[in-house]
Amino acid sequence: MTKDGAEQGDSTRAVHAGETRRKPHRALVEPLFQTSTYTFDNMADVCAYQEAHAQGRADDRFEYGRYGNPTVAAAEARLAALEHADSAIQVASGMAAITHTFLNLLSSGKHIVITDDSYRRTHQLCEEFLPRYNVAVTVVPLGDYDALEAAIRPETRILFSETPSNPYLRVLDVERFADIGRRRGVKTVVDATFSTPINLRPLDWGIDLVIHSATKYLGGHNDLLAGFIAGRDQLLAPLRQAMGILGGISDPNTAYLVLRGMKTLSVRVRQQNRAAQQIAEFLAAHPSVEQVWYPGLKTHPGHEIAVRQMNGFGGVVSFTVRGDGPATFRFMDALQIPYISPSLGGVESLVLHVATMANYDVPPEERWQLGIPDNLVRLAVGLEDAEDLIADLDQALRTI
């Protein structure tokens, strides 16, 4: 907040939120507290700490690394400020964030509804693991809100979706999704990894919990794995308590890197939005490209929702090249700037052959039925000059 109470902008919060102004030794940068445990002066100190802790009094002390760390707490507070959340929990990976949320909100006999076209490992968690614990799962098409509502049962506890989705960048109407959850008394959880809090703040639209793979844009440099769960304190408090038992925490060194990465989140994402839009428009007009999926294109089915609810369309562009699998491999091999790699959101552009790199174990006929053709490519735009990326894509497309 500024002195007159107005909220500071995204870039200011990305640089400063979560840090105390006066740091130890008057260091400018938030220190990395690389410690697994904390000490007590004497037994009176132990008793005073235990008493304060038992009464739930605000206390800036820490006891043991699995229950908290100042560097992790600073990263959590920064993400919470960016998301308009009361607080956030940083965990070991994006998948750890999803698993931890499901383990806490679900129990035997309950039910979850998840939208299709989500991250494959999330689907595997739902379809291969949750049934082992007697949790039922229904998958509905992202964007079919009647099917979503019809799937809700008395025992439904979570409506889960992702936006924009992967690989087709479908855009969830978060307002409508949240409204269905609220009316039917079911918690809504959205994986907003592809959006980032710069482009979309799901909590502002009434979503209960936001999930991030901080491995992507929040870290931003392709050099760490982490995740976040963010929301209102009331919902998050039991999840934080459970983290001390379940243990999927993020270590302080990773939190330090996430804190540093988030300082440039706003400038990075805005630049990636701009470059991805330019690239999507270039690809849409290219004779060697069959189809392009990018929410910033007027032809994209989610464009109108994205315009209404998002501040930017993101840094990922998916497209099919005009050719078969081998032609697509030639195109991938000819690229000089993007690396062939399965992640996204960092400073280096990465390119993914969806069928081979994310669905290799799925038989081709099943892949095609799922809508994953052999000529589908996902480009995660980094921070290189858009003109250089376009020139590189153009020369590679000529090899098809």
Ligand X SMILES: Cc1ncc(COP(=O)(O)O)c(C=O)c1O
Kindly list the residues in this chain that would bind ligand X in the complex (CB under 6 A): 93-95, 119, 162, 166, 191, 193-194, 213, 215, 225, 227
Measured from the Cβ of residue 58, the count of other Cβ atoms closer than 10 Å reads 5
Query: Closer to ligand X at the Cβ: 152 or 214?
Result: 214
- Tokens standing for residue 301: 């089915």
Q: Which among 189, 213, 203, 207 has a CA at the least distance from the CA of 101?
A: 189
Which of 110, 119, 157, 173 does the annotation list as catalytic?
A: 119
Q: Which among 142, 137, 111, 134 has a CA at the least distance from the CA of 124?
A: 137
Q: How far is the CB of 55 from ligand X (least distance, A)?
A: 36
| Residue 66 falls in the annotated catalytic set | yes
Query: Closer to ligand X at the Cβ: 73 or 214?
Result: 214
The residue whose Cβ lies closest to ligand X is: 94
User: Which class for 173: exposed (0-12), middle (13-18), buried (19 or more C-beta within 10 A)?
Assistant: buried
Q: How far is the CB of 215 from ligand X (least distance, A)?
A: 4
Query: Closer to ligand X at the Cβ: 152 or 159?
Result: 159
C-alpha distances out from residue 179 to 150, 162, 203, Å: 14, 16, 12
Which of 66, 176, 270, 274 does the annotation list as catalytic?
A: 66
Return d(Cα 87, Cα 217) in angstroms, integer: 19
Query: Closer to ligand X at the Cβ: 214 or 386?
Result: 214
Return d(Cα 320, Cα 318) in angstroms, integer: 7
DSSP H helices in the chain: 10-16, 43-54, 70-83, 94-105, 120-124, 145-151, 174-184, 196-199, 233-246, 252-263, 265-284, 303-309, 325-334, 354-358, 364-369, 386-397
What is the per-residue DSSP string for 280-306?
A: HHHHHT-TTEEEEE-TTSTTSTTHHHH
Which of 216, 263, 268, 367 does the annotation list as catalytic?
A: 216
Q: Are 322 and 339 in contact (CB under 8 A)?
A: no
Would strands 339-340 and 156-162 be described as parallel, antiparallel, or unpaired? unpaired
Query: Closer to ligand X at the Cβ: 85 or 92?
Result: 92
Return d(Cα 80, Cα 70) in angstroms, integer: 15
How big, in percent rounded to 5, are the helix, strand and coil portions of the chain? 45, 15, 40
Per-residue DSSP letter, 334: H
Q: How far is the CB of 262 from ligand X (least distance, A)?
A: 15
Q: How far is the CB of 260 from ligand X (least distance, A)?
A: 17
Query: Closer to ligand X at the Cβ: 90 or 271?
Result: 90
| Residue 268 falls in the annotated catalytic set | no
Is 152 in a helix, a strand, or coil?
A: coil
| Residue 119 falls in the annotated catalytic set | yes
Q: How far is the CB of 194 from ligand X (least distance, A)?
A: 6
Return d(Cα 149, Cα 121) in angstroms, integer: 24
Q: Are 228 and 214 in contact (CB under 8 A)?
A: yes
- Tokens standing for residue 164: 């924009």
| Residue 388 falls in the annotated catalytic set | no
Query: Closer to ligand X at the Cβ: 193 or 273?
Result: 193
Query: Closer to ligand X at the Cβ: 83 or 191?
Result: 191
Q: How far is the CB of 257 from ligand X (least distance, A)?
A: 13
Which of 116, 117, 173, 191 does the annotation list as catalytic?
A: 191
Residues acting as catalytic residues = 66, 119, 191, 216
